[in-house]
């Protein structure tokens, strides 16, 4: 499928997913969680096949290093991870989800609702961190360690993953994860845009119209 065709299909899929809102927010929430599980599962399989050095990965993830600020390449990667994980529009989305919960309209009930909303946002950010880390780990093992540092396009990554990892479905797993990620992003970005416009500008635009514009 050409890249433009794939983008159009993803946009149409987003319209279908947003229809789940008519059945209730819980259905849409469950669908987004399912997409995250698919993304994480696809990259988990690739990491298992790639067999990276677990000790080095854990050490690099949890033990601070001064090279992060002294090495430009490491600094750019670290900034990229932060930017891909902490997205302001998603923080607005997570905080607004508290309004869909059933809680007592008392001071105690509001505190409990805020506590669970904070927990929900924290878990979501941690999951996003591990997904982004999984992408970097797969790229490091499959491309960097094999001398393919010049991979800069999605098409190149798709063609090289299967032969480099020795797994016939590695490229398919990459494509499925990419599709799920794109669909997840379009849905959450549309919802976040709606929340921001309704909260700050008092504008109410149908979700299908917002998706068409964005």
Count how many domains the chain has: 1
For residue range 6-65, list pLDDT tens digits in order. 777 767 776 776 677 777 777 777 888 888 889 888 888 888 888 888 888 888 878 888
Following DSSP, what letter does each residue of 51-98 receive, concatenated? Answer: ---HHHHHHHHHS--THHHH-HHHHHHHHHHHHHH--HHHHHHHHHGG
Domain that holds residue 132: 3-213
Quick one: pLDDT band at residue 207, thresholds 50, 70, 90?
low
**What would the pLDDT profile of 180-191 be if each residue is shown by its tens digit?**
888 888 777 777
For the stretch 117-173, pLDDT in tens is 888 878 877 887 888 888 888 888 888 777 777 777 777 788 888 888 888 888 888
Tokens describing residue 47: 């990491």
CA-CA distance, 96 to 115, in Å (whole number)? 13
Residue 201 pLDDT exceeds 70: yes
CA distance 113 to 116: 5
């Amino acid at each position: 499928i050409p890249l433009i065709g794939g983008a159009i299909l993803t946009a149409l899929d987003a319209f279908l997913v947003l229809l789940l809102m008519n059945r209730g927010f819980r259905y849409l929430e469950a669908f987004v969680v399912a997409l995250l599980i698919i993304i994480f599962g696809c990259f988990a399989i690739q990491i298992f096949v790639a067999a990276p050095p677990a000790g080095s990965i854990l050490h690099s993830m949890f033990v601070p290093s001064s090279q992060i600020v002294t090495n430009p390449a490491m600094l750019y990667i670290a900034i990229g991870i932060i930017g891909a994980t902490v997205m302001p529009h998603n923080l607005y989305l997570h905080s607004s989800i508290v309004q869909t919960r059933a809680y007592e309209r008392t001071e105690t009930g509001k505190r409990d609702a805020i506590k669970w909303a904070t927990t929900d946002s924290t878990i979501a950010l941690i999951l996003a961190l591990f997904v982004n880390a999984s992408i970097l780990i797969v790229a490091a093992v499959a491309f960097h360690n094999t001398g393919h540092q010049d991979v800069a396009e999605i098409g190149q990554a798709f063609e090289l993953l299967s032969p480099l990892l020795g797994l016939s479905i590695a490229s398919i797993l990459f494509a499925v994860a990419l599709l799920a990620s794109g669909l997840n992003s379009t849905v959450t970005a549309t919802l976040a845009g709606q929340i921001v416009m309704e909260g700050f500008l008092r504008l109410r635009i149908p979700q299908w119209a917002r998706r068409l514009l964005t």
